[in-house]
């Protein structure tokens, strides 16, 4: 009993001494917490807490693993550089369990209980739609990494992936020019993102390119039978198959295409739903010669990307692959850092205001240069990659920087 | 049908016909194991999909080993994989029957719940052993690509392979059930358990091997499907839905029912898919199924046992 | 009054159980939990509705439905459709190409409200629909199946297939009912903001009161002559039939009652959580509802509520700390309950609970020096 008392007294002294020293130190290096945090967020003199909210279990765990790994890498790097406003970032991770209501529940927990200064998370549109009202209600800040359908712009979300037009239009222009494509067959999984993307693609093909859509097809999520569709495609003989099939269906789709003798030798195929992550499951030999439109490929040859790939593999293992969304997720913490430093505060309203100025840019992004548009989306380039047998893509086309436009006129 | 020659239409017709048959063989192979267990033992095995995943993961595992250590065996490893998948899934089924199912024969509804619990545990085990990512085995070259009888017709080789496998498995099952002495015992036990016991049939043993056989066939199905789709921890739950559909529509205790049901569902779906765009084809098939079930709730071929 | 006390409340032990439950959910939770946790408990309690319905249907009727999620979903969607129409006023949706219709319709190029949405502009209709639509649906399924003497495992599988079909329909028809995203972003009820803490507390109490009411309704059903017939039918269906009863009518009736209970839970879920999605309709949620019931005790209306609370607490707690272990635990629980504790928590309480009560009584005799009569009564609990 006595001993314990003694010990606790000693730790108290030690803590006090530390606090004094730290206090002096933080005074010198950064602003007072009361100034940078006026709304009661989880910010102390030397730490700031953020949330990571992805699915660790369930069907989406496959896709979301990369994103959360990239976010952790970025946060680690930021901490090594001294953190944000002199404060180290602490992470609270929650599991969305591939279940949309859980995303809403956990978002609420992160915002209400943990008072996190920002959340990096969500993957599917459904999980974002479920969590969005919570973020708006509790005035949180979400960095959302996935390329998505657009038609949304919330004060409380920063979209680090590309909205639909940024991905689609340049890719279609490229294929029309390079492959002299006139007829297109559109196929996707049946939910909001493929449907919206196909709507934009169809308008662009018909109104701008003067081409023709000879078929449009949506298969239920998880469908593994494409025999009939492949026969239909054969009957229509399109110049280009334009695909947005997702998840496990993707593997069945490409395996069956190959089995039906439709390979890149005979057929041009352009997809907006295959990244390096998916190729791991599909197998490079089934995809060889087909094209993906993304904003980032792991094989991109620039110093930023080389450093990023190296750091990622050091942290998460030599075998890890990096897809488009993983890279977009990596941008989240850096964009947040830039906005907080610009605002000189962690307050959500001030960070959002700083983000909306339109001059936050990252020159160190693995994909190259990105800039945050006042509409909460990123200026980014579209790239077309041709898949090789080893599961990596060769970039064959890079666009100019494209302005994000979540509510495109003429495409609705 | 302007702009198409007769030979083109003929080619499409042939390939579409094969697409339907191919879907039929897939559905039948999935449902066969479940139908045996359900028909002969009255037990619904909710972990059926996971036993398929066991077969698929076994195939993946063997393909990885072959690729790394015995590359010369690559062309034939798939046959070994199928055999091992059958044995391994069957063994697991045997153990499941021994430790779980046999205590619950008097309570069929509880078996359903217990096997659901088993399926959750198996899913998480897959995730722990193989990771959450989808995997696919490297297929031997002869299984890839298509067979071209004419310039315009491409018949997928993996589809033919699954079809052939389904025919063989179905024939073996029929032989076992209706021609072998074991099959006689199974049918006797189904009809009258007490009497069968009285005439000296070890009914417990019969149950155990029936269950193991059903699971083993699920394992074969899983191995075969690695040629057309990928494998992940939750793959089993994708398959189970179609499987139930086939068994319910076919009628409980009838293998012929299962075959007829797999055939009609497959044809309806593949023809509808060809003419209707979008996922509505599946919805229409399912709606038709439900309406038929409303009028004929016992399924196409009702069991002759009075309830 | 005496009849009510003895039969409906189940005498002393039944009443005690009921009062304890009421105190726990009406007093203890609001007192000790903050608003965030209370809202979570409110959500869990909505799952208790289908769990209680399964006690009637499965525990007493012997009919296992693996499709209670369908009815939960029907109730939830009915409520969500009303709230969504209110949230999609022309002012709120001015940026759409067709203002005044729900946003997902606009994204799917619909230009007017589909006919089946129109009646949901009325709140009265919506409340009626929450009850009537599931009941009609249950009646159709029940009539088709039970008249043909389809039951047991086969019925379980058919209800499951129905759950799958409904999910595929909802997911496939995203222009009409929101697809896989569900119906989201519900904010107000007659202009009253349902996302405020205040509203959540009110919904919590409404939820508790309705839950207690359906327990009483359930007991009324079970203690009536119909309840005895239900049990008899579960154990020896043929004998009941040979006694001159039409068994199928009983089954259809109890199936409809169970569907209504589940649907009420679904509607309350939508109100508390603020959205509805197809992930509450399919196989997995439907089977989870069965496990709530099985863990709580399939013969105990009150046990089922504790089952729902316990499993969901466990799910939240475990997924916050060891997400990997949760599925193992859940699977093991399924097997353990089925193999070793077929009567769940309530069964354990009935078997071992008297040790605790005896001990308490001993203490009482020591302190008060007044022996109390030993009662060993099987409660309906």
Q: Which residues of C183-215 are buried (b: 16+ CB within 10 A; e: fewer)?
A: bbbbbebeeeebbeeebbeebbeebbebbbebb
Closest CA relative to residue B244, chosen from B254, B235, B256, B252? B252
A–B: how many Cβ contacts below 8 A?
119
Distance CA C330, CA C97 (A): 47
Instruction: Kindly state the average pLDDT of the residues C6-28.
Output: 83
Task: Tell me, yes or no, if A64 comes closer than 8 A to chain C by beta carbon.
Answer: no
Distance CA C334, CA C284 (A): 13
What is the pLDDT at residue B83? 96
When the pLDDT of each residue in chain C is averaged and rounded to a whole number, the result is 86
Site from A190, A216, A408 to mutate, C interface, most C CB atoms within 10 angstroms: A190
The residue of chain B with its CA nearest to that of A98 is: B234
Phi, psi of A243 (to 5 degrees): -120, 140
User: Beta partners for A268?
Assistant: A240
Site from A56, A122, A129 to mutate, C interface, most C CB atoms within 10 angstroms: A129
Task: Tell me, yes or no, if B154 comes closer than 8 A to chain A by beta carbon.
Answer: yes
Task: Tell me, yes or no, if A353 comes closer than 8 A to chain B by beta carbon.
Answer: no
Distance CA A64, CA A68 (A): 7
Token pair of C294 as six digits: 């099985």
User: Beta partners for A362?
Assistant: A370
Distance CA C60, CA A325 (A): 51
Q: Which range has the top average pLDDT, A206-210, B285-289, C233-237, C351-355?
A: A206-210
What is the pLDDT at residue B147? 84
Distance CA B207, CA C134 (A): 40
Which residues in chain A are closer than 8 Å to B133, comparing Cβ atoms?
62, 65, 280-281
Structure confidence at residue A24 as a pLDDT band (50, 70, 90): very low
- Report residue A81 CA to chain centroid gap: 23
Task: Tell me, yes or no, if A104 comes closer than 8 A to chain C by beta carbon.
Answer: yes
When the pLDDT of each residue in chain A is averaged and rounded to a whole number, the result is 88
Which residues in chain A are closer than 8 Å to C185, comparing Cβ atoms?
129, 132-133
Question: Is pLDDT above 50 for B247?
Answer: yes
Q: Which H or E run contains C27?
A: none
Helix and strand element counts for chain A (H, E): 14, 14
What is the pLDDT at residue B228? 84
What is the pLDDT at residue C7? 66
Of C149, C150, C153, nearest to B109 by CB-CB distance is: C153
Closest CA relative to residue A226, chosen from A217, A214, A239? A217
Q: What is the pLDDT of residues A254-292, one digit of tens each?
A: 988 988 888 899 899 999 999 998 888 788 888 999 999
B–C: how many Cβ contacts below 8 A?
124
The residue of chain B with its CA nearest to that of C145 is: B297
Phi, psi of C236 (to 5 degrees): -140, 80
Distance CA C324, CA C321 (A): 9
Domain ranges of chain C: 16-344
Task: Tell me, yes or no, if C281 comes closer than 8 A to chain B by beta carbon.
Answer: no
Q: Which fold is adopted by the domain C16-344?
A: ABC transporter involved in vitamin B12 uptake, BtuC (1.10.3470)
Distance CA A54, CA A122 (A): 6
* C264-to-B65, C93, C259, C296 alpha-carbon distances in Å: 54, 30, 9, 20
Instruction: Kindly state the average pLDDT of the residues B249-266.
Output: 85
Residue contact C36–A113, C-beta within 8 A: yes
Torsion-angle region of A227 (φ positive above 0: left; ψ -120 to 50: alpha; else: beta): alpha
What is the pLDDT at residue A191? 82
Task: Tell me, yes or no, if B207 comes closer than 8 A to chain A by beta carbon.
Answer: no
Beta strand A291-294 pairing with A119-121? unpaired
Of A218, A248, A258, nearest to B232 by CB-CB distance is: A248
Q: Which residues of B183-203 are buried (b: 16+ CB within 10 A; e: fewer)?
A: bebbebbbeeeeebeeeebeb
Closest CA relative to residue B63, chosen from B74, B54, B79, B52? B74
Question: Is pLDDT above 70 for C26?
Answer: yes
The answer to whether B30 and B242 have CB atoms below 8 angstroms apart is yes
Instruction: Kindly state the average pLDDT of the residues C263-280.
Output: 92
Spell out the residues 6+ positions from residue A112 whose beta carbon is closer than 8 angstroms to its own.
A138, C36
Task: Tell me, yes or no, if A260 comes closer than 8 A to chain B by beta carbon.
Answer: yes
Residue contact C156–B43, C-beta within 8 A: no
- Report residue C56 CA to chain centroid gap: 11
What is the pLDDT at residue C347? 83
Token pair of B148 as six digits: 């071209």
Q: What is the ipTM of this complex?
A: 0.82
In this predicted structure, which of A293-297, A375-379, C291-295 has the lowest mean pLDDT?
Answer: C291-295
User: Beta partners for A121?
Assistant: A53
Task: Tell me, yes or no, if A45 comes closer than 8 A to chain C by beta carbon.
Answer: no
- Angle at which helix B255-275 crosses helix A227-236, to 10 degrees, equals 30
Structure confidence at residue A101 as a pLDDT band (50, 70, 90): confident
Q: What is the pLDDT of residues C249-261, one digit of tens each?
A: 999 999 999 999 9
Q: Is A352 helix (H, G, I), strand (E, B) or coil?
A: helix
Q: What is the pLDDT of residues C39-91, one digit of tens each?
A: 999 999 999 999 999 999 999 999 999 999 999 999 999 999 999 999 888 88
User: Beta partners for B164?
Assistant: none
Q: What is the pLDDT of residues B142-189, one digit of tens each?
A: 887 788 887 778 888 888 999 999 999 999 999 998 899 988 998 888
Q: What angle do CA A167, A95, A53 make, to 5 degrees?
A: 45
Token pair of A158 as six digits: 């920063």
Question: Is pLDDT above 50 for C371?
Answer: no
Q: What is the pLDDT of residues B37-79, one digit of tens each?
A: 888 888 888 899 999 999 999 999 999 999 889 888 888 899 9
User: Beta partners for A271?
Assistant: A243, A292
Closest CA relative to residue B26, chosen from B155, B134, B136, B169? B169
Residue contact B15–A231, C-beta within 8 A: yes
pLDDT, greater one: A317 or C94: A317
CA torsion, ordered A283, A289, A293, A296, to nearest 10 deg: 70
Which residues in chain B are closer than 8 Å to A217, comparing Cβ atoms?
277-278
Structure confidence at residue A1 as a pLDDT band (50, 70, 90): very low
Which residues in chain A are closer than 8 Å to C273, comparing Cβ atoms?
101, 104
Of A59, A217, A255, nearest to B277 by CB-CB distance is: A217
Residue contact A231–B16, C-beta within 8 A: yes
Beta strand A212-219 pairing with A183-189? parallel
Residue contact A281–B145, C-beta within 8 A: no
Spell out the residues 6+ positions from residue C142 whose beta carbon is closer than 8 angstroms to its own.
C248, C251, C252, C255, C256
CA torsion, ordered B256, B262, B265, B269, to nearest 10 deg: -150
Task: Tell me, yes or no, if B138 comes closer than 8 A to chain A by beta carbon.
Answer: yes
Beta strand B155-156 pairing with B146-147? antiparallel
What is the pLDDT at residue A369? 92
Token pair of A7 as six digits: 């010990």
Residue contact A191–C187, C-beta within 8 A: no
Question: Is pLDDT above 70 for A7?
Answer: no
Long-range CB contact pairs, C195-200, < 8 A, 24+:
C195/A133, C195/A137, C195/C274, C197/C35, C200/C35, C200/C38, C200/C39, C200/C42, C200/C272
Question: Is pLDDT above 80 for A410?
Answer: no
A residues 220-249 closer than 8 Å to C (CB): 220-221
Q: Which H or E run contains A372?
A: strand A370-372
Q: Chains with ≥3 Cβ pairs under 8 A against C?
A: A, B
Of B26, B132, B274, nearest to A61 by CB-CB distance is: B132
Lookup result for tokens 């545990």: B121
Question: Is pLDDT above 80 for C8?
Answer: no
Token pair of A41 as six digits: 């967020």
C residues 27-46 closer than 8 Å to A (CB): 36, 39-40, 43
Task: Tell me, yes or no, if A231 comes closer than 8 A to chain B by beta carbon.
Answer: yes
Residue contact A57–C184, C-beta within 8 A: no
Q: What angle do CA C360, C363, C369 make, to 5 degrees?
A: 130
* C308-to-B36, C54, C200, C285 alpha-carbon distances in Å: 35, 12, 20, 12
Residue contact A62–B232, C-beta within 8 A: yes
Instruction: Kindly state the average pLDDT of the residues B5-11.
Output: 79
């Amino acid at each position: 009993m006595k001993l314990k008392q003694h010990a606790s007294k000693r730790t108290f002294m030690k803590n006090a001494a530390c606090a004094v020293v730290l206090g002096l130190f933080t005074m010198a290096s950064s602003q007072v917490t009361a100034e940078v945090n006026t709304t009661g967020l989880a910010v102390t003199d030397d730490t700031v807490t953020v949330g990571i909210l992805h699915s660790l279990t369930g069907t989406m765990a496959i896709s979301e693993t990369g994103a959360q790994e990239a976010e952790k890498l970025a946060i680690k790097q930021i901490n090594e550089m001294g953190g944000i406003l002199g404060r180290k970032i602490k992470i609270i991770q929650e599991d969305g369990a591939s279940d949309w209501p859980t995303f809403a529940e956990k978002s609420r927990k992160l915002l209400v209980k943990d008072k996190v200064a920002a959340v990096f998370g969500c993957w599917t549109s459904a999980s974002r739609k479920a969590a969005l009202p919570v973020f708006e209600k509790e005035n949180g800040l979400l960095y959302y990494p996935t390329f998505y359908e657009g038609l949304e712009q919330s004060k409380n979300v920063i979209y680090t992936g590309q909205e639909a037009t940024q991905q689609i239009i340049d890719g279609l222009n490229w294929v029309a020019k390079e492959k002299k494509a006139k007829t297109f067959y559109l196929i996707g999984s049946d939910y909001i993102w493929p449907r919206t993307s196909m709507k934009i693609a169809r308008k662009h093909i018909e109104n701008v390119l003067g081409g023709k859509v000879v078929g449009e097809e949506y298969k239920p999520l998880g469908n593994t039978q494409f025999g009939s569709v492949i026969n239909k495609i054969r009957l229509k003989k399109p110049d280009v198959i334009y695909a947005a099939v997702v998840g496990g269906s993707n593997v069945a789709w490409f395996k069956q295409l190959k089995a039906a003798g439709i390979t890149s030798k005979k057929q041009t195929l352009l997809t907006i739903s295959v990244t390096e992550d998916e190729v791991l499951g599909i197998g490079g030999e089934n995809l060889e010669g087909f094209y993906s439109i993304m904003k980032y490929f792991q094989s991109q040859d620039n110093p930023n990307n080389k450093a990023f790939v190296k750091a990622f593999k050091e942290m998460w293992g030599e075998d890890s692959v990096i897809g488009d969304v993983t890279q977009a997720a990596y941008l989240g913490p850096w964009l947040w850092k830039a906005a907080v430093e610009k605002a000189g505060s962690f307050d959500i309203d001030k960070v959002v205001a700083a983000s909306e100025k339109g001059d936050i840019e990252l020159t160190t992004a693995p994909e190259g240069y990105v800039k945050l548009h006042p509409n909460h989306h990123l200026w980014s380039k579209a790239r077309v990659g041709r898949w090789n047998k080893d599961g990596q893509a060769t970039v064959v086309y890079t666009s100019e920087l494209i302005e994000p436009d979540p509510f495109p006129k003429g495409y609705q | 049908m302007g702009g198409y020659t007769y030979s083109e239409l003929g080619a499409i017709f042939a390939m579409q016909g094969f697409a339907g048959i191919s879907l039929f063989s897939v559905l039948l192979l999935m449902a066969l194991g479940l139908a045996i267990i359900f028909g002969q033992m009255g037990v619904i095995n909710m972990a059926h999909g996971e036993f398929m995943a066991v077969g698929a993961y076994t195939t993946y595992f063997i393909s990885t080993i072959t690729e790394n250590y015995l590359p010369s065996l690559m062309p034939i490893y798939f046959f070994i994989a199928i055999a091992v998948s059958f044995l391994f899934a069957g063994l697991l089924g045997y153990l499941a029957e021994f430790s779980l199912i046999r205590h619950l024969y008097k309570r069929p509804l509880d078996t359903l719940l217990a096997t659901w619990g088993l399926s959750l545990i198996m899913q998480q085990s897959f995730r722990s052993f193989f990771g959450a990512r989808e995997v696919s085995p490297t297929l031997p070259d002869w299984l890839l690509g298509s067979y071209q009888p004419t310039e315009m017709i491409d018949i997928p080789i993996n589809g033919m392979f699954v079809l052939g496998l389904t025919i063989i498995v179905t024939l073996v099952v029929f032989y076992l059930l209706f021609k072998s002495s074991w099959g006689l015992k199974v049918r006797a036990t189904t009809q009258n358990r007490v009497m069968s016991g009285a005439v000296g049939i070890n009914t417990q043993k019969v149950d155990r091997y029936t269950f193991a056989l059903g699971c083993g066939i699920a394992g074969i199905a899983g191995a075969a499907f690695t040629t057309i789709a990928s494998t992940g921890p939750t793959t089993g739950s994708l398959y189970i839905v179609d499987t139930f559909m086939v068994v319910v529509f076919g009628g409980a205790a009838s293998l012929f029912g299962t075959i007829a049901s797999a055939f009609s569902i497959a044809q309806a779906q593949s023809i509808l898919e060809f003419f209707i765009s979008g996922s509505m084809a599946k919805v229409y098939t399912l709606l038709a199924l439900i309406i038929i079930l409303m009028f004929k709730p016992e399924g196409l071929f009702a069991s002759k046992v009075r309830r | 009054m005496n009849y009510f006390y003895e039969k409906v409340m189940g005498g002393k032990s039944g009443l005690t159980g009921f009062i304890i439950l009421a105190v726990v959910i009406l007093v203890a939770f609001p007192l000790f939990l903050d608003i965030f946790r209370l809202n979570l408990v409110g959500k869990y309690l909505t799952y208790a509705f289908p769990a209680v319905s399964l006690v009637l249907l499965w525990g007493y009727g012997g009919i296992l439905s693996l499709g209670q999620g369908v009815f939960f979903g029907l109730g939830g969607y009915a409520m969500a459709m009303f709230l969504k129409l209110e949230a999609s006023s022309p002012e709120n949706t001015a940026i759409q190409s067709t203002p005044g219709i729900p946003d997902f319709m606009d994204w799917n190029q619909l230009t007017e409200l589909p006919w089946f949405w129109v009646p949901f502009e009325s709140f009265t209709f919506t409340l009626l629909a929450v009850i009537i639509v599931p009941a009609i649906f249950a009646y159709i399924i029940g009539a088709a199946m039970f008249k043909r003497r389809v039951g047991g495992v086969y019925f379980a599988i058919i209800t499951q297939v129905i759950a799958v079909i409904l999910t595929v329909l909802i997911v496939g028809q995203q222009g009409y009912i929101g697809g896989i995203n569900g119906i989201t972003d519900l904010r107000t009820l007659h202009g009253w903001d349902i996302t405020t803490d205040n509203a959540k507390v009110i919904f919590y109490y409404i939820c508790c009161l309705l839950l207690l009411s359906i327990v009483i309704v359930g007991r009324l059903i079970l203690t009536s002559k119909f309840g005895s017939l239900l049990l008899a039918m579960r154990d020896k269906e043929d004998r009941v039939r040979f006694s001159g009863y039409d068994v199928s009518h009983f089954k259809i009736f109890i199936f409809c009652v169970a569907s209504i209970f589940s649907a009420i839970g679904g509607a309350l879920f939508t109100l508390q959580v603020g959205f509805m999605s197809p992930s509450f309709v399919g196989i997995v949620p439907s089977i989870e509802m069965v496990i709530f019931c099985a863990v709580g005790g399939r013969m105990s209306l009150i046990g089922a509520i504790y089952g729902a609370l316990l499993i969901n607490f466990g799910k939240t707690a475990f997924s916050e700390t060891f997400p990997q272990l949760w599925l193992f635990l859940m699977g093991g629980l399924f097997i353990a309950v089925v193999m070793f504790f077929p009567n769940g928590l309530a069964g354990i309480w009935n078997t071992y609970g008297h040790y605790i009560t005896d001990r308490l009584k001993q203490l009482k005799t020591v302190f008060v020096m007044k022996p109390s009569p030993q009662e060993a009564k099987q409660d309906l609990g």
